[in-house]
Chains A and B, each alone.
Chain A
Amino acid sequence: MQPAADTEATRQPLEIRGISKAYGRFPALKNVSLQARDKEFLALLGPSGSGKTTLLRVLAGLETPDEGEVRFDDEDFLALPVRRRRVGMVFQHYALFRHMTVAQNIAFGLTVRPRAERPAKSEIADRVQHLLSLVQLEGLDKRFPAQLSGGQRQRVALARALAIEPRMLLLDEPFGALDAQVRRDLRRWLRELHDRAGVTTVFVTHDQEEALDLADRVAILKDGALVQLGAPNELYEAPANPFVYDFLGAACRLPGVVEDDRLRVADWETTAPKDAPQGEVDVFFRPDEVAFAPADGAGLAAEVRGATARGPKVRIDCVIEGRTMELEAHSRDAPPGVAPGLSVRVKPLRPRVYAAG
């Protein structure tokens, strides 16, 4: 869609075109292009070394790409120095100013403005109070960063970033240094905050659960290249390749063959998924998306090695085609009398097929 024809709802203020960046001979980003919609929450997801943080730093102006273009509201973003981009950045290790109080930290972006643009002292104080209540830290304004917990520090960092009324919010693994429980709480809270503040947000993470849970759309990067971009559900339902499939959750994998719309894996045959490649393929399925049948039924022959009940779920370790797999089933769906040594049939409910590689 052309920018001129955009309606407010589909406006794409952030446009990244063909960004490449190399450190010496190591390519960190390879021709990455993507857009973010207005007020969108976009996650950059990938394993370490995938270039996601480099891309975020390019957006912030902390790295200069070798090639490519970044436009924001049709302005050449790369021509602007860091301090003129007005992006709010939140770092993994908070980067709070340790010698300043919480209030001084939050006010920093306003107090360093040139005199002509600087709000009055009372106005800054009001803004700080407003932000403190937004991040639910009222009454902590006189504390120093060292006197706060990790979760509190990150919320101060977020308030500080929001204080400059950023055109875009950039979050670099903001919950990476926090423990699991705090992470989950902050995640929900961050999403609510984003919806209220209405700022386009780019969020870097290596945690697929976090990305799928939080973002409107997720961009998956691998080795500096964009692999797939889509809504969390789209990605989960239709991973573009084995890497994405594997990265988004636990995966079981078997070799198979597709011929004339039929998929054959060992002695099991079924209708091939739509648009499946012909010939030798890799078949993927999720360990919890399987149905069990008796040994004389249809499915992949499997021998149970162990079964562990965990609440309403049962983990079933079995060997299929010589490969050990950890399957998972609701206890009512588990094969009756499941125990080591039992032979069963396993039918993947939603197999994904990729050309063998």
Chain B
Amino acid sequence: MSRKPVVRLPGIAPLLVLAAVAVMGVLVILPLVTVFHDAFSKGVGAVIAALREPDAMAAIRLTLVVAAISVPLNAAFGVAAAWAIAKFEFKGKSLLLTLIDLPFSISPVVSGLVWVLLFGAQGWFGEWLIDHDVKIIFALPGLVLATILVTFPFVARELIPLMQDQGVDEEVAALTLGASGFVTFWKITLPNIRWALLYGVLLCNARAMGEFGAVSVVSGHIRGLTDTLPLHVEVLYNDYDFVGAFAAASVLASLGLVTLILKTALEWRHAGELAASRRH
């Protein structure tokens, strides 16, 4: 790998770096420190107590369950979509690309609202669902649907540029050597995208656990039942339970930090492979 030449800007460069650090400090580091500071303001015991609260435990569990369902589904969808878009020519390809980007451009609230309009009591399928005793809105399925809708571009967006860059030559070579379609995918396509896939899954997971807007609409805020961790933070905050709110928030922040560390480690180890995605 070639090293990039370093350009030195005497005088102004240190000032720019300093300004950047200052802005970052105020906008990112300070709030992050505040979260942990306020959480631990009444000691570690209070934080542990707040998190051992049944509602808090339920919120953490629910957040993990929602992520555990929606992230694998989105990973599978992302790989399938990226594979189709990058390796095949078909009509409606640009439409599919636009659709994949849609969740990035619409407000998460709308992403939640569409499910209410479809499956809510007054929605298109509301009556049928009530008749058959199926609960989607104000229940786990609704939370999962809303999360999937918000997070589905992450994996696909990470993979498409890389797979387009790699082309189909290796797959074609594998076929001529006698490999089946499944073997080709498993032994050639997947290993070539594994780090980008992991990267996309990390981003997707971070968003799935942190999502607020869309989930807020479909959750119904039933404490201990349909409140995910971000919603739980809001509920406690509105109840003036600041230690509880910040304790829950610090769990979320820690999740984010872990994701960030893993992400950086990936970028550092597999820079070349991930470069294709960042090139465009």
Contact = CB atoms under 8 A, between A and B. Distances in A.
A binds B: yes
Contact of A112 (B170, B183, B191, B192): B183
Interface in A77-129: 82-89, 91, 93-99, 108-109, 112-113
A83 B183 CA distance: 11
A112 B178 contact: yes
B174 interface: yes
Contact of B176 (A87, A93, A96): A87
Given A62-B172, A112-B183, A86 B178 contact: yes
B196 to A, nearest CB: 13
A167 to B, nearest CB: 12
Query: Which of A60, A82, A86, A96 has the most chain B CB atoms inside 10 A of its CB?
Result: A82
Interface residues of B, number: 16
Nearest to A112: B179
A112 B187 contact: yes
Given A98-B192, A112-B187, A91 B177 contact: no
A88 B176 contact: yes
A160 interface: yes
Contacts of B174: 97, 108, 112
Given A99-B191, A99-B192, A93 B177 contact: no
B178 A95 contact: no
Contact of B180 (A83, A86, A98, A108): A83
Q: Using C-beta atoms within 8 Å of the partner chain, give the interface range for chain A.
A: 20 to 34
Nearest to B176: A89
B28 interface: no
B173 interface: yes
Nearest to A62: B172
B191 A82 contact: no
Nearest to B166: A98
Contacts of A83: 175-180
Interface in B213-270: none
Nearest to A60: B176
B176 A98 contact: no
A86 to B, nearest CB: 7
A164 interface: yes
Contacts of A161: 176-177
Interface of A: 60-62, 82-89, 91, 93-99, 108-109, 112-113, 157, 160-161, 163-164
A147 to B, nearest CB: 12
Contacts, number: 63
Contacts of A164: 177-178
B44 to A, nearest CB: 46
A335 B147 CA distance: 87
Nearest to B192: A99
Contacts of B191: 99
B155 to A, nearest CB: 20
At the interface, is chain B mostly helix, strand, loop or mixed? helix
A95 B191 CA distance: 15
A82 B175 contact: yes
A161 B177 CA distance: 7
A91 B173 contact: yes
Given A96-B173, A98-B170, A157-B173, 20 more contacts: A62-B172, A62-B176, A83-B179, A84-B178, A89-B172, A91-B173, A93-B169, A95-B169, A97-B188, A98-B192, A108-B174, A108-B177, A109-B177, A112-B179, A112-B183, A112-B187, A160-B173, A160-B177, A161-B177, A163-B177
B97 to A, nearest CB: 23
Contacts of A109: 177-179
10 nearest A-B pairs in the assembled complex, by CB-CB distance:
A109-B177, A95-B169, A95-B173, A89-B176, A112-B179, A82-B175, A99-B191, A83-B178, A112-B183, A95-B170
B134 to A, nearest CB: 44
Nearest to A109: B177
Contacts of B187: 108, 112
A113 B172 contact: no
Contacts of B169: 91, 93-95
**Max chain A Cβ within 10 angstroms of own Cβ: one of B174, B178, B179:** B178
Contacts of A86: 178
A172 to B, nearest CB: 10
B112 to A, nearest CB: 40
Nearest to A108: B177
Contacts of B177: 83, 108-109, 112, 160-161, 163-164
Contacts of A84: 178
